[in-house]
Amino acid sequence: MRLLTKRDRSETELRSKLAQFGFSVSAIDAAIARCRELNYLNDERYARERARSLLRNGRGVGRKIALDLKSRGISAEIAHQALEDAEQEYSSTEILSDLLERRFPNFDYTTADDRERRRVVSFFQRRGFPLDQIFSILKSRD
């Protein structure tokens, strides 16, 4: 229970943590079943909240979020649905624009040298923003 009080976890994450603490497979299965029964453990809820958080904070969009959820043991179907829900709630264009203002407030694409341009574009690409969207925002900011 202590593992679920700080933050939500996926079933795979909880299973892994319990195994690290040396619990038997049968004890882990029983704990997982009980947590599901009490709705303490819900992969759909976890995926939805994780996707919303990553998108809202500008830490990922699209495929980046899907890969993050997959690495946490979320199925492709649940990850896809969570990503769709998050993208309906938050506009990736607005998030990119806000992130550009916060992270690079004085950046001007037209006057920046190639090295600075690559640094800024790479920053957004690592978060999963499409290249055409990045350039569209950068060039419209002039």
d(CA 67, CA 62): 9
Please check whether residue 53 is in contact with residue 121, taking contact to mean a CB–CB distance below 8 angstroms.
no
pLDDT score of 139: 87
Average of per-residue pLDDT values in the chain: 91
Per-residue pLDDT averaged across 112-124, rounded? Answer: 94
What is the model's pTM?
Answer: 0.80
User: Does 91 have pLDDT greater than 90?
Assistant: no
